[in-house]
Structure 1
């Protein structure tokens, strides 16, 4: 398999995983999301709060975060060995801490291949100024 073909296959896999992880949180499938996450996940929010996998899952379980809709266009995927960077957007309708809000973020997701599986290791959004 050529490097170009391997990279294209990885990009396709990661796009599918991105779709699935977002779909899981919108569906309230917390264990489904957890299956895509690395145990050392660092999940940064657009308000600069940072969650570990355990603290993020707890916030999902308790309804602190409720995702009503998420659009997540991908702009670029960079594959370097067993690490993938996904640059795109996360536009969402959510309830966070009891407050309904609209999000418009530029986002960077980090995926790593661990034990033959691709897992989400990091996520960091940045508010897009004037987008909402």
Structure 2
């Protein structure tokens, strides 16, 4: 009986540690993704975004993977900086849901700073050998 109790406790502790590792991994991916958007690291963006990406901007414009990455390449979406203010990761096995808040400085055409204060939700899915990929982004402007 004692051995069974030790085994069960070990499994529970191991699962809790794995959940913490996953949350740290997803949080690190969020930081890398934002940095890749700013630095225009298209190789990373191609890997991190799932082929079925639905990227809903705070103005309600919707992009897929191809159109979103093209918008960055063509200068339609210019990210000057991203300051991640809050992040919370929930683990659902092969799915992770991220809720966060970020200040995003976009490029400006009129010389004025264009800073978005956003709340957002991101859904990551574990995609076989491709690993964790973003398949959904949804953001809302904060006043």
TM-score w.r.t. structure 2 length?
A: 0.83
Classify the secondary structure of the residue corresponding to 1:24: helix
Distance in 2 between the 1:35 and 1:47 partners? 25
Higher strand share: 1
**Partner residue in 2 for 1:15:** 27
Deviations 1:75-96 (A, max 9, x none): 3211011000111112111027
Please report how far the alpha carbon of residue 34 of structure 1 lies from its aligned counterpart in structure 2 after TM superposition.
1.7
Does structure 2 conserve the Cα–Cα contact (< 8 Å) formed by 1:108 and 1:125?
Answer: yes
Gaps of 5+ in 2: 1-10
**Partner residue in 1 for 2:139:** 125
| Off by >4 Å, runs of 4+ in structure 1 | none
How many residues of Structure 1 are paired with residues of Structure 2 in the alignment? 128
Does structure 2 conserve the Cα–Cα contact (< 8 Å) formed by 1:74 and 1:86?
Answer: no
Structure label with greater radius of gyration: 2
**Partner residue in 1 for 2:6:** none
TM-score w.r.t. structure 1 length?
A: 0.90
Q: CA RMSD of the aligned region, Å?
A: 1.5
Distance in 1 between the 2:39 and 2:80 partners? 8
The farther-off stretch of 114-123 and 43-52 is 114-123
